[in-house]
């Protein structure tokens, strides 16, 4: 019976339409969740830092800011929790071939993630709802497990994703998995670069999105201390992470070059293995190379191998059927890098403006015509961080195609052979569209609403301002 | 042995989901039936206030169960999720709608928005446990064969046992929730609400009893193996459930709300363990066993060890969470303690809401 099951598992193939639907559904729900998940990791840290500073300095502006961010956090965490749960269902609903065979190998990081998520949910409940029931210092400490567990959740989940890129920690004999080392599977070689890259990205997305919202308010003339702090605190945090993220991104790309050469070839549009490979920006993939791109001679050889003659492996390593869609992966990669450098430069701009204002003996780095131009661009930092996030995720997932587990199982082998996946996709799209609209409306209302409740989630006591 | 231990931990997680997460779904059902926006307001506020801080933590139990099933018994996970694609997709969408709408309603002030999100929250609170119940019925009646999508996409869960599972799940959630809310209402200083939920707890408890008795006939006809298991090996647990349910009703009549909670919880938990005991050692009826589908010992050990360590963090944290919000916070923090008086929306101030 079991061998029969395994046989079905490998031999079954869904119709192409259903496979496309399953991929679209998984991609869509992941793309949705990844943004709120990042906010779930980064926003608690921002809020906690602000609350801590507010308590230490007694600054009412910072304390108010922390409470208002916490309210948004309550809504975002709820939608993050449910959209994340759906992903664990979808792994089985859409990719039972993957889970039936390799579920046990990647079970451990998910079990650990379950524990971390539990801690996060428990302490978020306490942090949000017991704001006025606990002494301020104790309350501050209840936020710490939320941050730690949020980062830990991100780590464990990305470990599982890294395993799909670098499957390890198990032995196969005659088509059967005969031994599993779950710790080795979890801490696979791709885990370090991927997890660090993702956690930094989460911080940047949360920081720049929050900064964007307050930059809008500043541009509309609401130049209060509240809006200034609301912009500067997250922006500085995001800008401080940006340079590290670029270094980590380079590490991650070199890792991919060494371990998933086909993915790197797709990212950079390298068709033929060889030396003196140019770095191509943009372009469209033709039959044997990128066209219309901007080429920097020997650029890629220098970046990957530190010498102009260094050999870079190309797509010709594998037959065309085993190659990912080059144009999409390449553009996603270039967009991510561009967005990353934009965020870095915005940080540099603020640093220069601050330094010049200081030399002139004080003054507001956000004032004047330069300040206005800066704020206009600063509004774009949040969307840019999200673009970088989504593109980076596209690179790692689309770049692995047609594999779901690199070199071992294709998406076609993993997909649920049941009919009707297309219907499921439409249902999911409708529900997510409604949820997106509602989230945006609720958050917008929240941002413009005046009264601030004592405990962020306790509406019944909101008539009593604390600050 | 290891596999049995992991299965037991998973079943414990499922029990916790039923007792805590289930009660939150039940609260949604009572929210749905609370009446017009003015008349139903006190009840809705109590429900919102009571489940607000804890529902996310309670919800995590389902993730726990799902993850342990795939980590410990991957082929069973693949078989169940691929065959029961439809009811589980409905469950997943119900989970999304319930959680998101609840949070949105809590963050909204306008009556129209609160009505829309409230309706969404309440309806999905009924839909979700119903489909989870049909899934349980499909597995318990042996309609999920091993392999990928080997069972019929519709026939596997449109069956008498699945219908029984769905209805029983909704009623059990409603009963648990009503029993829990009695004590919550008293704590918040709303004895009239406690009285209302007491009536609902008694009604839903009686309905559970009737459906359970009718279910004996359904299982006899539709799932004979399960029936045999329930009437032989699992009989003590079945009887425990019946006794727990009846004692709970007597305690409700006598207004002993806190003890009634324990009794109702025993009744529901015993049903789940009776099912487990009746089906063991089969994961999928008729011949897929726990031992045959269990993961490698290294995986089981790693998961059990992690859960053991995790329990040291989780148990005190959960205890603190429930303690914090089950304490009598005195005046000024009541859920039904008044608030903003919006047109046709919020109830007027009733004087309990002292400046905190």
Between the alpha carbon of residue B43 and those of residues A346, B56, B182, the distances in Å are 51, 21, 11
Task: Give yes or no: residues A207 and A355 share one domain.
Answer: no
pLDDT(A326) > 70? yes
Task: Give yes or no: residues A390 and A425 share one domain.
Answer: no
Q: What total of structural domains would you count in chain A?
A: 2
Q: ipTM score here?
A: 0.86
Interface list for A 45-84 with B (CB within 8 A): 71, 74-75, 77-79, 81-84
**How far does the CA of residue B12 sit from the closest CA of chain A (Å)?**
15
Please say whether the beta carbons of A459 and B339 come within 8 A.
Answer: yes
pLDDT score of A445: 82
pLDDT(A460) > 90? no
Containing structural domain, residue A14:
1-243+412-467
Across the interface, which of A119, A126, A439 has its CB nearest the CB of B314?
A119
pLDDT(A342) > 60? yes
Which pair of tokens denotes residue A154?
A: 């991100």
Task: Give yes or no: residues A87 and A214 share one domain.
Answer: yes
What lies within 8 Å, CB to CB, of B259 at 6+ separation is B251
pLDDT(B275) > 90? yes
pLDDT score of A449: 66
Is residue A436 less than 8 Å (CB to CB) from chain B? no
Residue A406 in any domain: the answer is no
Is residue A96 less than 8 Å (CB to CB) from chain B? yes
- pLDDT tens per residue, range A278-321: 888 888 888 788 888 888 888 888 888 888 888 888 888 888 88
Task: Give yes or no: residues A233 and A276 share one domain.
Answer: no
Q: Do A2 and B99 touch (CB under 8 A)?
A: no
Across the interface, which of A74, A75, A416 has its CB nearest the CB of B85?
A416
Average per-residue pLDDT for chain B: 87
Q: What is the mean pLDDT of residues A253-261?
A: 91
**Residue ranges per structural domain of chain B:** 2-299
Residue A256 in any domain: the answer is no
At B328, the pLDDT band (50, 70, 90 cuts) reads low
Residue A252 in any domain: the answer is no
Residue A253 in any domain: the answer is no
Beta-sheet strands, E only, within chain B: 282-284, 288-289
Listed residues A399, A427, A444: the one ending a domain: A399
Which pair of tokens denotes residue A432?
A: 């997510």
The predicted model scores a pTM of: 0.88
At B176, the pLDDT band (50, 70, 90 cuts) reads very high
Please say whether the beta carbons of A373 and A352 come within 8 A.
Answer: no
Euclidean distance between CA atoms B292 and B294, whole angstroms: 6
A269: left (phi over 0), alpha (psi -120 to 50) or beta: left
Euclidean distance between CA atoms A49 and A234, whole angstroms: 10
If residue A194 lies in a helix (H) or strand (E), which one and from where to where? Answer: helix A191-219
- pLDDT tens per residue, range B110-160: 888 888 898 999 999 999 999 999 999 999 998 999 988 888 888 899 999
**Half-sphere CA count of B211, side-chain side, radius 13 A:** 21
Residue A140 in any domain: the answer is yes
Task: Give yes or no: residues A317 and A443 share one domain.
Answer: no
Task: Give yes or no: residues A95 and A201 share one domain.
Answer: yes
At B355, the pLDDT band (50, 70, 90 cuts) reads very low
Across the interface, which of B85, B102, B321 has its CB nearest the CB of A122?
B321
- The residue with tokens 């870095």 is A344
Listed residues A343, A374, A399: the one ending a domain: A399
Query: Taking CB atoms and an 8 Å cutoff, what residues of chain B touch A181?
Result: 298
Euclidean distance between CA atoms A106 and A103, whole angstroms: 6
Listed residues A352, A374, A399: the one ending a domain: A399
Interface list for B 266-305 with A (CB within 8 A): 287-288, 292-293, 295-296, 298-299, 302-303
């Amino acid at each position: 019976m079991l061998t029969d099951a395994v046989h079905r598992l490998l031999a079954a193939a869904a119709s192409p339409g259903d496979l496309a639907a399953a991929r679209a559904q998984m991609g869509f729900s992941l793309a949705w969740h990844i943004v709120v998940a990042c906010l779930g990791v980064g926003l608690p840290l921002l809020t906690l830092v602000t609350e801590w500073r507010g308590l230490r300095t007694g600054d009412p502006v910072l304390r108010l800011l922390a409470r208002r961010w916490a309210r948004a956090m309550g809504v975002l965490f709820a939608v993050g929790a449910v959209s994340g749960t759906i992903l664990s269902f979808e792994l089985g609903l859409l990719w039972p071939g993957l889970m039936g065979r390799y579920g046990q190998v990647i079970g451990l990081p998910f079990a650990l993630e379950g524990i971390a998520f539990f801690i996060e949910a428990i302490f978020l409940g306490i942090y949000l709802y017991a704001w006025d029931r606990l002494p301020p210092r104790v309350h501050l400490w209840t936020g710490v497990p939320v941050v730690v567990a949020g980062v830990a959740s991100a780590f464990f989940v990305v470990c599982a994703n890294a395993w799909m890129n670098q499957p390890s920690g198990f032995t196969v004999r005659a088509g059967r998995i005969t031994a599993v080392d779950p710790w080795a599977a979890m801490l696979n070689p791709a885990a370090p670069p991927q997890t660090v890259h993702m956690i930094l990205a989460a911080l940047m997305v949360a920081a720049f999105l929050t900064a964007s919202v307050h930059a809008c308010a500043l541009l509309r003339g609401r130049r209060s201390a509240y809006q200034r702090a609301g912009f500067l605190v997250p922006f500085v945090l995001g800008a401080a992470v940006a340079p590290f993220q670029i270094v980590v991104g380079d590490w991650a790309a070199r890792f991919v070059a060494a371990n998933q050469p086909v993915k790197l070839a797709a990212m950079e549009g390298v068709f033929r293995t060889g030396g003196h490979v140019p770095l191509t920006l943009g372009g469209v993939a033709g039959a044997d190379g990128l066209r219309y791109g901007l080429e920097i001679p020997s650029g890629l050889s220098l970046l990957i191998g530190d010498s102009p003659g260094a050999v870079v492996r190309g797509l010709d390593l594998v037959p065309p059927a085993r190659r990912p869609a080059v144009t999409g992966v390449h553009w996603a990669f270039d967009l991510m890098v561009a967005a990353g450098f934009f965020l870095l430069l915005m940080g540099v701009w603020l640093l220069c403006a601050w330094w010049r204002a200081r030399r002139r003996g004080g003054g507001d780095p956000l004032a004047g015509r330069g300040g206005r131009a800066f704020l206009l661009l600063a509004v774009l930092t949040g969307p840019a961080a999200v673009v970088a996030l989504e593109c980076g995720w596209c690179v790692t997932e689309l770049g692995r195609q047609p594999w779901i587990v690199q070199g071992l199982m294709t998406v076609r082998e993993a997909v649920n052979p049941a009919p009707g996946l297309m219907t499921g996709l439409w249902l999911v799209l409708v529900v997510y569209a409604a949820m997106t609209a509602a989230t945006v409306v609720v958050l917008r209302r929240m941002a413009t609403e005046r009264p601030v409740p004592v405990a962020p989630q306790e509406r019944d006591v909101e008539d009593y301002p604390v600050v | 042995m290891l596999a049995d231990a992991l299965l037991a931990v998973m079943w414990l997680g499922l029990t916790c989901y039923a007792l805590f997460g289930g009660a939150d779904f039940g609260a949604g059902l009572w929210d749905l039936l609370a009446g017009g926006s003015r008349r139903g307001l006190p009840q809705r506020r109590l429900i919102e206030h009571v489940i607000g801080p804890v529902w996310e933590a309670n919800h995590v139990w389902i993730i726990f169960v799902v993850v342990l099933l795939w980590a410990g018994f991957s082929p069973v996970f693949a078989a169940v999720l691929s065959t029961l694609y439809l009811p589980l997709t409905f469950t997943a969408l119900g989970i999304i709608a319930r959680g998101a709408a609840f949070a949105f309603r809590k963050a909204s002030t306008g009556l129209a928005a609160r009505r829309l999100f409230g309706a969404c929250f309440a309806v999905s609170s009924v839909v979700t446990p119903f489909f989870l119940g049909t899934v349980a019925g499909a597995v318990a009646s042996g309609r999920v064969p091993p392999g990928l999508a080997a069972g019929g996409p519709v026939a596997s869960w449109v069956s008498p046992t699945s219908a029984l599972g769905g209805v029983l799940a909704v009623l059990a959630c409603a009963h648990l929730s009503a029993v829990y809310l009695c004590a919550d209402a008293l704590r918040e200083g709303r004895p009239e609400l406690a009285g209302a939920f007491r009536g609902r707890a008694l009604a839903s408890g009686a309905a559970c009893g009737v459906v359970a008795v009718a279910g004996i006939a359904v299982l006899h006809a539709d799932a004979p193996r399960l029936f045999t298991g329930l009437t032989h090996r699992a009989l003590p647990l079945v009887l425990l459930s019946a006794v727990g349910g009846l004692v709970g009703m007597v305690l409700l009549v006598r207004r002993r709300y806190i003890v009634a909670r324990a009794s109702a919880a025993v009744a529901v938990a015993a049903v789940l363990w009776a099912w487990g005991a009746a089906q063991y050692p089969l994961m999928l009826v008729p011949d897929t066993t726990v031992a045959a589908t269990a993961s490698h010992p290294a995986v089981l050990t790693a998961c059990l060890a992690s859960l053991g360590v995790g329990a040291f963090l989780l148990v005190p944290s959960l205890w603190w969470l429930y303690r914090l919000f089950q304490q009598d916070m005195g005046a000024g923090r009541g859920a039904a303690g008044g608030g903003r008086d919006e047109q046709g929306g919020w109830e007027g101030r009733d004087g309990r809401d002292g400046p905190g």
